[in-house]
């Protein structure tokens, strides 16, 4: 492995692993089929495709090859003395090879542009992976929303699943995908999902590709899919777009009636119909593309904000949820404005025939003014309010929520240079950086302590308490000062094509660097929540302290926050060989990674996976069944590793602060709830790791402090006190294999079928064990392996292994033409196990990678009879049928005045119902 890294440094071959291009190749022949060497072949971009123009000459075998071609639409023009010129329009898709075999007629008259060739619906004999390309034409003509994610569902194996926190691809949860824009990864660092900031509107998008199975060794970090987005560029023709779309919310579906149970007696329920929200969404767009210097430098500038202005009107009732005698006490109208800014600037340049470069800058903050109430009806009681103190005073209802909001800043910049020093050798350089500061719903919240008089107590019987059972001063004081994450990438590879050694080899090898950084300060650590239990002694609320005679009750101060900074890096080296022998193509790849998992604790140990811990073989083979390039059978096998998200390190490696300080309500301190401030309770007491109970010589009123977030990565950590990392922990891994067949029935008409099996070999989770006090301690490890099973055996518990098996048979038909296009697919599948992945379908789509509740208690993973509860998972859908169609009416036959009619539908099975037993509380 060291020698491979050295070789990369010597060659200085740098490029990003997430490709942004495809290839074009072909053969030029005469009418008798004889090859024509020395023909001039020019490839030039048209439409909204980024600027590109390159001329090559066919070799002695009449072949030509264009590598690293930006995706989009092109015209190939072929000329040779003594023959008529000929042109062909082709569509280049990501990672695809367009094969264009061109026949020149004898004579001197130029031919017209012939039938379009679309690489997404032709058989590529060298492709052994499963990917779907959504080209510009599909984007423009299919029904969709405003952002690119709304079209991902047209892929047969992609489903938006709320229970799985996003897009489920081949059974993997929504937290296991990688999202890439122009080569720069933009996946959320903590949850593994797609932030709304980077869910680009279609006006910025040239093509979207979804990789799901068998992809090459240059791709890592995903056990789901890789979603690659390419933005619009400029070329030699000026293009301008100006427009606006509207979405009146009154045209949306009405909310469903819900069952309002307003009393315990028989018949005390009603079906209540909430009102529909009003308002409108505005989606203007402005775009200008064209040349700065023709054939040398091109630009693209797009501004496409998405503006939503919902209005929610709520009636509050005198009797709350009880309909008997119900009357409207007041009606409040709430307004909100959410503006998603999207500005994209792109420059493409081709200063010489063998050098090409681009740079993009994306500015994409979200600005939120006002917050809507969580409920759409007023059955729960009075509107929210808070006392901000002088000079603001009390704000209530629309005044209170209207001054709230937030701003989530984001941007990304990246660039790439492609250099072809030799016709068979390509070098690229690409680097990028993305920025995100998650601060939505953070403005306008009072920065004061929140007081709660617990309903279990009886403050009404304590003179001077100032509260009643269930009273609270404010509903929320959780502050987000900042939560900044950056991702910096600098990655490398080189591509050598056409090496003849026992067949033909295209070899690619490279190095990739992916660095994450997070600095965060959020919560109520400096404000606190004070919960008071009047007439309840301190030992009855969980503190092992003897009550003081004559006390008026007790309480605790709770402080929670995520504070600190951390960074991590993931490095990878890979090599990939596409080896052609006659009608066989072998895709042989190997990927190795080195990952450092971040720690927020200055005393914590760094979890490290070295080069040998994450070896990913990628093997694919295809066979041209009849030798005509129209039918292939293929298979692939691979191992895939996840990259650590920050949810676990923030919660378990020192990022979270969670303390409770217990105190007594004493006559000498006064009965009034407001006397029990954070300063009075804590005094000058320190916050030692692990807490301190009982506290001796307290400088405040706290007599016992519990620490609920002791870092589990401390040196010499005790499993049953602080939790610990399994010293033999292994990287999370998924294995998969696929068998498939593709057949080109007609030009641009493709039939395909595949069978895929994917399985989780090992997961990483926090695994709960009982300590002597009956509380939970957590092992960070592999469920079903190592320390988990060792500790479980000591308590006579079995240890459940994480299982997620996905099996699917998929059949697909797709046709693309100028006038009529359609796609249809049917998938017969099974999703089986006890573990849905990095997002939890058992917890209604909770996306807390590696710290969901799958294994938090020893009984979890087993049914009421003590047997493993493995079965069909909550998002299993055995039958899924999808279809779309597009028909274009070309009214005058000139492709200028046309109308398209399109549609898309999904018919699918429902999901399983699950019975839940609560065995521990």
In whole angstroms, give the CA distance from residue 710 to residue 223.
30
Please compute, for residue 110, the number of CA atoms within 13 A of its CA located in the half-sphere on the CB side.
Answer: 7
Average pLDDT over residues 438-459: 94
What's the pLDDT score for residue 13? 33
**Higher-confidence position of 568 and 387:** 568
What's the pLDDT score for residue 721? 79
Among residues of the chain, what percentage have pLDDT more than 70?
Answer: 95
Pairing of strands 724-725, 776-781: parallel
**Higher-confidence position of 798 and 279:** 279
**Looking at 41-45, 836-840, 878-882, which range is the least confident one?**
41-45
DSSP state of 27: E
Band of the pLDDT at 664, cuts 50, 70, 90? very high
**Looking at 88-102, 336-350, 394-408, which range is the least confident one?**
88-102
What's the pLDDT score for residue 106? 79
**Looking at 60-69, 691-700, 868-877, which range is the least confident one?**
60-69
Helix (H, G, I), strand (E, B) or coil at 463: coil
**Higher-confidence position of 920 and 650:** 650
Band of the pLDDT at 15, cuts 50, 70, 90? very low
Judge whether residue 105 has pLDDT over 50. yes
Band of the pLDDT at 317, cuts 50, 70, 90? confident
Residue 478 CA, distance from chain mean position? 25
What's the pLDDT score for residue 773? 58
All domains of the chain, ordered by start, with CATH? Answer: 17-121 (2.60.40.10), 130-231 (2.170.130.10), 237-444 (no CATH)
Q: Which residues contact 53 (CB under 8 A, 6 or more apart)?
A: 42, 43, 44, 45, 236, 295, 350
**Looking at 6-20, 199-213, 752-766, which range is the least confident one?**
6-20
Helix (H) or strand (E) holding 790: helix 786-794
What's the pLDDT score for residue 117? 54
In whole angstroms, give the CA distance from residue 731 to residue 640.
10
Q: Which residues contact 742 (CB under 8 A, 6 or more apart)?
A: 123, 631, 632, 634, 750, 751, 752
What's the pLDDT score for residue 17? 43
Residues 141-181 have pLDDT tens digits of 899 999 999 999 999 999 999 999 999 999 999 999 999 99
What's the pLDDT score for residue 917? 65
Average pLDDT along the chain:
89
Band of the pLDDT at 91, cuts 50, 70, 90? confident
Residue 839 token pair: 């997002």
Residues 470-484 have pLDDT tens digits of 999 988 999 999 999
**Looking at 227-231, 274-278, 806-810, 895-899, which range is the least confident one?**
895-899
Judge whether residue 449 has pLDDT over 60. yes
Judge whether residue 2 has pLDDT over 70. no
Average pLDDT over residues 221-231: 93
Judge whether residue 879 has pLDDT over 90. yes
Average pLDDT over residues 623-651: 93
Average pLDDT over residues 832-857: 92
Residue 242 token pair: 């100006």
In whole angstroms, give the CA distance from residue 316 to residue 311.
16
Band of the pLDDT at 9, cuts 50, 70, 90? very low
What's the pLDDT score for residue 366? 98
Q: How many CB atoms neighbour CB 313 within 10 A?
A: 14
Q: How many helical (H) and strand (E) elements, i.e. helices and strands, does the chain have?
A: 6, 53
What's the pLDDT score for residue 574? 96
In whole angstroms, give the CA distance from residue 573 to residue 507.
14
Judge whether residue 742 has pLDDT over 60. yes
Q: What is the pTM (predicted TM-score) of this model?
A: 0.90
Band of the pLDDT at 113, cuts 50, 70, 90? very low
Residue 2 token pair: 């060291």
Evaluate whether 54 touches 70 at the Cβ level (below 8 Å). Answer: no
What's the pLDDT score for residue 775? 63
Interior angle at CA 363, CA 357 and CA 369, nearest 5: 170
Long-range contacts of 454-458 (CB under 8 A, 24+ apart): 454/531, 454/532, 454/533, 454/555, 456/533, 456/536, 457/532, 457/533, 457/534, 457/535, 457/536, 457/553, 458/534, 458/535
Residues 588-632 have pLDDT tens digits of 999 999 999 999 988 888 899 999 999 999 999 999 999 888 899
What's the pLDDT score for residue 173? 95
- Most confident region among 29-33, 114-118, 748-752 by mean pLDDT: 748-752
Judge whether residue 516 has pLDDT over 60. yes
What's the pLDDT score for residue 36? 85
What's the pLDDT score for residue 732? 96
What's the pLDDT score for residue 10? 33
φ, ψ of residue 253 to 5 degrees: the values are -65, 150
What's the pLDDT score for residue 338? 97
Band of the pLDDT at 820, cuts 50, 70, 90? confident
Band of the pLDDT at 774, cuts 50, 70, 90? low
């Amino acid at each position: 492995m060291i020698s491979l890294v050295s070789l990369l440094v010597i060659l200085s071959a740098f490029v990003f692993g997430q490709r942004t291009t495809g290839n074009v190749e072909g053969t030029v022949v005469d009418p008798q089929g004889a090859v024509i060497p020395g023909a001039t072949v020019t490839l030039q971009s048209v439409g909204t495709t980024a600027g590109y123009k390159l001329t090559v000459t066919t070799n002695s075998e009449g072949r030509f090859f264009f590598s690293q071609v930006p995706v989009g639409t092109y015209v190939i023009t072929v000329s040779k003395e003594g023959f008529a010129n000929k042109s062909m329009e082709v569509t280049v898709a990501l990672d695809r090879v367009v094969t264009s075999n061109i026949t020149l007629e004898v004579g001197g008259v130029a031919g017209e542009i012939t039938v379009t060739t679309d690489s997404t619906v032709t058989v590529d004999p060298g492709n052994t992976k499963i990917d779907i390309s959504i080209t510009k034409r599909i984007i423009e003509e299919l029904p969709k929303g405003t952002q690119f994610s709304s079209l991902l569902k047209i892929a047969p194996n992609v489903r938006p699943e709320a229970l799985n926190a996003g897009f489920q691809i081949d059974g993997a949860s929504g937290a296991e995908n990688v999202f890439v824009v122009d080569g720069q990864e933009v996946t959320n660092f903590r949850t593994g999902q797609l932030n709304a900031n980077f869910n680009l509107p279609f006006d910025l998008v040239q093509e979207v590709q979804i990789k799901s199975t068998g992809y090459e060794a240059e791709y890592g970090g995903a056990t789901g899919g890789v979603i690659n987005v390419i933005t619009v560029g400029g070329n030699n023709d000026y293009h301008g777009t100006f427009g606006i779309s509207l979405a009146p919310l009154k045209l949306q579906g009405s909310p469903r009636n819900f069952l309002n149970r307003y009393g315990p007696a028989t018949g005390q329920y009603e079906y209540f119909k909430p009102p529909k929200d009003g308002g409108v969404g505005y989606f203007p767009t402005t775009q200008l593309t064209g040349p700065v210097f023709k054939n040398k430098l091109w630009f693209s500038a797009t501004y496409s904000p998405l503006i939503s202005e919902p209005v929610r009107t709520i009636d509050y009732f005198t009797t709350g949820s009880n309909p008997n005698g119900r009357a409207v006490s007041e009606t409040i109208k709430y307004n909100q404005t959410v503006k998603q800014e999207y500005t994209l600037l792109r420059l493409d340049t081709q200063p010489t025939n063998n050098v090409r470069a681009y740079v993009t800058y994306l500015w994409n903050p979200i600005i939120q003014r006002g917050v809507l109430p969580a409920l759409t009806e007023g059955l729960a009681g009075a509107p929210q309010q808070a006392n901000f103190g002088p000079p603001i005073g009390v704000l209530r209802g629309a005044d209170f929520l209207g001054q709230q909001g937030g701003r989530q800043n984001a941007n990304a910049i990246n660039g790439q240079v492609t250099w072809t020093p030799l016709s068979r050798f390509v070098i690229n350089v690409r680097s990028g950086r993305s920025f995100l500061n998650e601060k939505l719903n953070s403005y306008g919240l009072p920065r004061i302590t929140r007081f709660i008089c617990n309903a279990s107590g009886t403050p009404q019987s304590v003179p001077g308490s100032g509260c009643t059972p269930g009273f609270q001063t404010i509903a929320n004081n959780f502050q987000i000062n900042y939560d900044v994450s950056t991702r910096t990438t600098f990655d490398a590879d080189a591509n050598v094509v056409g090496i003849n050694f026992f067949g033909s080899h295209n070899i690619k090898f490279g190095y990739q660097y992916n660095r994450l950084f997070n600095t965060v300060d959020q919560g109520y650590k400096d404000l606190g929540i004070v919960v008071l239990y009047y007439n309840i002694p301190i030992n009855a609320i969980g503190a092992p302290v003897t009550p003081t005679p004559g006390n008026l009750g007790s309480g605790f101060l709770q402080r929670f926050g995520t504070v600190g900074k951390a960074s991590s890096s993931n490095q990878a080296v890979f090599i990939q060989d596409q080896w052609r022998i006659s009608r066989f193509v072998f895709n042989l790849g190997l990927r190795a990674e080195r990952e450092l998992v971040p720690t927020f604790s200055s005393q914590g140990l760094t979890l490290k996976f070295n080069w040998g811990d994450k070896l990913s073989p990628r093997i694919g083979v295809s066979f041209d069944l009849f030798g005509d390039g129209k039918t292939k059978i293929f298979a692939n096998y691979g191992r895939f590793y996840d990259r650590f998200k920050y949810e676990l390190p923030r919660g378990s490696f020192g990022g979270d602060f969670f303390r409770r300080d217990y105190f007594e309500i004493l006559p000498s301190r006064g009965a009034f709830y407001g006397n029990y401030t954070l300063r009075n309770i804590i005094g000058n007491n320190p916050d030692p790791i692990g807490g301190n109970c009982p506290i001796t010589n307290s400088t405040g009123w706290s007599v016992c402090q519990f620490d609920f977030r002791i870092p589990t990565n401390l040196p010499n950590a005790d499993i049953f006190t602080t939790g610990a990392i399994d010293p033999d922990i292994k990287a999370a891994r998924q294995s998969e294999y696929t068998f498939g067949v593709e057949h080109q029935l007609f030009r641009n008409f493709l039939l395909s079928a595949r069978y895929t099996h994917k399985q989780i070999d090992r997961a990483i989770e926090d695994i709960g064990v009982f300590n002597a006090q009956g509380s939970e301690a957590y092992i960070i490890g592999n469920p079903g392996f190592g320390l988990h099973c060792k500790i479980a055996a000591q308590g006579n518990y079995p240890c459940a292994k994480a299982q997620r098996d996905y099996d699917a048979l998929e059949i697909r038909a797709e046709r693309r033409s100028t006038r009529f296009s359609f796609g249809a697919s049917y998938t017969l599948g099974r999703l089986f196990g006890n573990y849905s992945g990095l997002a939890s379908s058992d917890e209604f789509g909770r996306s807390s990678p590696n710290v969901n509740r799958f294994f938090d208690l020893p009984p979890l993973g087993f049914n009421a009879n003590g047997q493993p509860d493995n079965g069909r998972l909550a998002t299993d859908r055995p039958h899924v049928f999808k279809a779309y169609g597009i028909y274009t009416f070309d009214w005058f036959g000139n492709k200028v005045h046309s109308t398209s009619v399109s549609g898309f539908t999904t018919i699918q099975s429902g999901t399983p119902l699950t019975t839940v037993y609560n065995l521990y509380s």
